[in-house]
Structure 1
Amino acid sequence: MTLNKAQLSEIENVIKGSLRTKFKTYKPETNSMPFHYRLLGKDRMALFSFIQSLNTTFGTSIFEPVAKTLASLQFASAQQQYVVGNNISEKAQIEIQDIMNALTTGKTPNKADEIERIRAVCNKGTINQLKTVKVDLFVQSASGIIYLFDLKTAKPNISNFKDFKRTLLEWIAIYLLKEPNADVHSYIAIPYNPYEPKSYERWTLKGMIDFDEELKVGKEFWDFLGGDGAYEEVLNCFQRAGIELRPEIDAYFGKFK
């Protein structure tokens, strides 16, 4: 899929709007750093602080709205911060725990099998309420296939991966309780590959995540949402937005000189 000028402009506007909003809400750190200021300058230190702050919110403030906009051009529906629900069956919780136990003892993850195991018990036993995180990006195809994405940083922490996996399985169980026959899938999405040109080989993922059915990284993620070539077009959108915003960026950090 090749995006037309109007679609590219829409994505660029989302990027520019997100960054401008960040400028309005950002509050520079007030810590005095006299040695750093004299060595590097207050404007560079302010930029450094801004980049650190931006990195922590890049997913929600920029990647999510861009991904939603891109997906809405190709899919029937796309939503960010989607509330999947909070009801889950007791038997599904037990099944998820059994899956987690097997994975921690060395069983190879198989997401298709895991989904069918959960489907078989999705409405059995007591219905419990579960506090879970929102889906970062919900996408539905024209044929009704559901995709639930959890956007993560480029280098997820190994200590959190059991929680990430459990969340993906719980989303499936919660959705199937409402629609037992739904064709639903859940993924971890990582917006870019920090190891390029090498393939993404984050060892922390191994043994817990089904690489083929549960993970989309960089080009694979963006091309899934927007079609072949979308990744490069999104990168170009970021570049054009950055060039246009450069005077605003320079003026903003020029205040700190």
Structure 2
Amino acid sequence: MPPPTQQEVFNLVRETVISSLTNFIRNRMGVEPNFQILDLIIPTERRIRSVVGGMETSLGTTLWEPLAKNLASLNGFEIIEDNLLSPTNMPGNLQNTVQLLVEGRNNRNQLYNAEYCHDRIKEVCQNFIINPINDFSRAPRGFGVDIWLRKDNVNYFFDTKTVQANVGGYSRCFNQVLNWYSYFYSRYPEGNASARIVFPYNPYGNVNFWTRTIGRGWPLEPDNEGWVENQFWDFCSGIDNTYQIILDAFNDISSTGDLEDIIQGIFYGER
């Protein structure tokens, strides 16, 4: 199917943003934050901070995840809603391989790039064609897949992350990518997979994200294991500069005031 038009993407983004934020705010209605002493001095501001903080924390599942799935669906991707399962008892050779890959990357051995790590895991899992693993269970906490897309017999795994990473955050991201490959190929050794950690926008403007983020993103490999802004959004939508369309939709919602009533209601009470 042909990629969507810019207007179709704009309309879908606008609808998704309004729907997602409205649902989040409605679910927060009537929820009282725990008391803090500042409630006695600035209760309204404290309430606003509580709601906004919760929205910021949950932005991945509240907005980015449904937006990515909606755009991908418009562009002909199959949306997989199943969980990526892991072997209940991880085979020793596969577990050891993943650990060796982690150590190789941590030692800054140039051999252990993204392509090598992927190919090595898939190679080890070819043994499971003849000796399949029969017992799988839900992936451990922190290693699940937020967005699973499929197109042209390739499975794509994504997880959206905060654009302000903490110390150790990129190491966890790298481990997450390797574990996704090990889970998938242990169950589907003849399949094809491609995994990325996603940073939905670049907070540094025109400055390269990887030069400004903590540790330059290491040990995660830019482009091949981590995508920023339009690398992800253009992939989902199939058209160029999708992030600008997302910004345009946000600005349009702000100018028309389509969310004003529900925002006023939760921040300041019904008018």
Q: Structure 1 length normalisation: TM-score?
A: 0.86
Q: Which of residues 9, 19, 22 is equivalent to 1:20?
A: 22
Indicate yes or no: 2:107 matched with 1:118. no
Residue number in structure 2 paired with 1:95: 97
Instruction: Give per-residue Cα distances to partners, 1:59-78, cap 9 Å, x unaligned.
Output: 11111001110111113312
Report the Cα distance in structure 2 between the residues aligned to 1:96 and 1:183, rounded to whole angstroms.
18
Q: Which of residues 214, 224, 228 is equivalent to 2:225?
A: 214
Residue number in structure 2 paired with 1:177: 186
Tell which deviates more after alignment, 212-221 or 24-33: 24-33
Report the Cα distance in structure 2 between the residues aligned to 1:70 and 1:60, rounded to whole angstroms.
15
Residue number in structure 1 paired with 2:78: 77
SS in 2 for 1:8: helix
Instruction: Give per-residue Cα distances to partners, 1:107-145, cap 9 Å, x unaligned.
Output: 23411111111111115489575743321111112x212
Report the Cα distance in structure 2 between the residues aligned to 1:200 and 1:85, rounded to whole angstroms.
32
Once superposed, what is the RMSD of the aligned Cα atoms? 2.5
Q: Is contact 2:105-2:113 (8 Å) kept?
A: no
Relative distance call for 1:129 and 1:2 in structure 2 (3 A) is: closer
Structure 2: gaps spanning 5 or more residues = none
Instruction: Give per-residue Cα distances to partners, 1:1-28, cap 9 Å, x unaligned.
Output: 5535455333322221211111122224
Amino acid at match of 1:233: I
Indicate yes or no: 2:255 matched with 1:253. no
Residue number in structure 2 paired with 1:33: 38
Tell which deviates more after alignment, 230-239 or 211-220: 230-239
* Matches for 1:120-139 after TM superposition, within 5 Å: 120-124=123-127, 127=133, 131-132=139-140, 133-139=143-149
Report the Cα distance in structure 2 between the residues aligned to 1:116 and 1:208, rounded to whole angstroms.
18
Q: Is contact 1:64-1:136 (8 Å) kept?
A: yes
Report the Cα distance in structure 2 between the residues aligned to 1:234 and 1:244, rounded to whole angstroms.
16
Report the Cα distance in structure 1 between the residues aligned to 2:176 and 2:86, rounded to whole angstroms.
12
Structure 1: gaps spanning 5 or more residues = none
Amino acid at match of 2:233: W
SS in 2 for 1:135: coil
Relative distance call for 1:216 and 1:36 in structure 2 (3 A) is: farther
Tell which deviates more after alignment, 127-136 or 202-211: 127-136
Relative distance call for 1:91 and 1:75 in structure 2 (3 A) is: farther
Indicate yes or no: 2:167 matched with 1:162. no
Amino acid at match of 1:244: D
Moved over 6 A (4+): none
Residue number in structure 2 paired with 1:233: 245
Relative distance call for 1:30 and 1:78 in structure 2 (3 A) is: same
Q: Structure 2 length normalisation: TM-score?
A: 0.82
Instruction: Give per-residue Cα distances to partners, 1:17-45, cap 9 Å, x unaligned.
Output: 211111122224242425641xxxx4333
- Displacement of 1:198 in angstroms is 0.9
Amino acid at match of 1:230: T
Instruction: Give per-residue Cα distances to partners, 1:159-204, cap 9 Å, x unaligned.
Output: 2332321221111122112322322111100111111121102233
SS in 2 for 1:187: strand
Q: Is contact 1:28-1:50 (8 Å) kept?
A: no
Report the Cα distance in structure 1 between the residues aligned to 2:266 and 2:5, rounded to whole angstroms.
32
